Amino acid sequence: MSSKKKIVLTGGCGFIGHHFAEYIHKNTDWDIIIIDKLSYAAMGLNRLRNNLLINSPRVKLFTFDLCNEISEGIEKEIGNDVNFIVHMAAETHVDNSIKEPIKIIKNNINSTVNLLEWARKLSNLEIFFYFSTDEVFGPALGDTLYKEWDRHKPTNPYSASKSAAENICISYENTYKLPLMIVNVMNAFGERQHVEKFIPKCIKKVLNDELVNIHSYPDKKESGTRFYIHAQNIASAVLFLIQNGSIGEKYNIAGEEEVSNLDLALLIAQAVGKELKYEMIDFHSDRPGHDLRYGLDGKKIYELGWNPKFDFKKSLEKTVKWTLENLEWLEE
């Protein structure tokens, strides 16, 4: 591959998206085209202002809702010489998908189809990169770790919409020879995350001496677990796969370490320097459609030669420290 490329990134103002945009801006000389509808989760342009990407001559931003067909004007502005499309844009909050399933399902499927329709017109496209979630596989009981091509069993409207979009992408690969690659990713965290997510929400509650709800098994003695991964590790994995992965393949980007919800909250409280006040909540009654444990087998990408750049506990401490120095990111 020659070094000078053009990449289109959807959802580039979102949490993982802006981290990926920052990472490729630092580690390539590619031109970066961001398409984002600037929903509440994008937090306007604040993330791109904060990491200074908004000032870069290599970055172009189009404010556009991909639930609509891509207009001829935007097609003309972007041009036909796109090498990579990384589709990260999605409604990702499970609670919102339970409250408004039709809205979330339509958004995540229609935006993907409209992007696919445009992508198959592009003569220089090397990779259409679909960004999915560990939740498509459903609960990972015991010590289960799902491999890339294991069956899907989504348990809420959000994960069902991502599973459906994955399969639509695969249909375009089969029907139109679209150069497809898919990743499934575990729980991301890092700087500038929306306060609705557990880690920034926990930081805020600990700071304010408020009770933190810990989702647990019905006996309320054991909390659920997650594999967490810093967004910059995800960004490095995606770029690595663009450069080293195989068309037609799926890859899991797994968290570095499995951590219980309670242990995570305790680590956050320790980093904040305050005592944790918490209550164990039966997840079935409090959060229908959620699973207490997800698990991905990430060996495939490791065998290609990728390794995470940041250790979980160190990157968690760094995230808490950054958040304490930038408290405006904890505002609703």
Q: Determine the structural domain holding residue 136 and report its residue range.
A: 6-188+227-256
- Which runs of E-coded beta strand occur in 98-236? 127-133, 180-185, 187-189, 212-216, 225-230
Domain check: are 33 and 169 in the same one?
A: yes
Domain check: are 239 and 320 in the same one?
A: no
- The count of domains in the chain is 2
What is the identity of the amino acid at 287? R
CB atoms near residue 73 (< 10 Å): 10
Structure-block tokens of residue 191 = 């700087």
Contact 191, 319 (CB under 8 A): yes
Q: Active-site residue numbers?
A: 134-135, 158
CATH for 153: 3.40.50.720
Domain check: are 234 and 263 in the same one?
A: no
As averages over each run of 10 residues, the pLDDT of the chain (332 residues) reads: 82 94 96 91 79 88 95 94 97 87 96 98 97 96 94 95 98 98 96 93 97 86 90 97 98 92 96 95 63 90 94 95 95 80
* Nearest by Cα to 72 from 85, 58, 64: 64
Contacts of 199 (CB under 8 A, 6+ apart): 189, 193, 228, 264, 268, 316, 319
Residue 316: per-residue pLDDT: 96
Q: In whole angstroms, give the CA distance from residue 216 to residue 279.
A: 10
With the CA atoms of 49, 18, 127 and 308 taken in that order, what torsion angle do they form, in degrees rounded to the nearest 10?
Answer: 140
Looking at the domain assignment, is residue 300 inside a domain?
Answer: no
Report how far Cα 229 is from the mean position of its chain's Cα atoms: 10
Sign of the Cα torsion 206, 207, 209, 210 reads negative
- Which runs of E-coded beta strand occur in the chain? 6-10, 31-36, 59-63, 84-87, 127-133, 180-185, 187-189, 212-216, 225-230, 250-253, 257-260, 278-282
Domain check: are 58 and 78 in the same one?
A: yes
Looking at the domain assignment, is residue 307 inside a domain?
Answer: no
Domain check: are 79 and 123 in the same one?
A: yes
178 class by beta-carbon count within 10 Å (0-12 exposed, 13-18 middle, 19+ buried): buried
Contact 264, 202 (CB under 8 A): yes
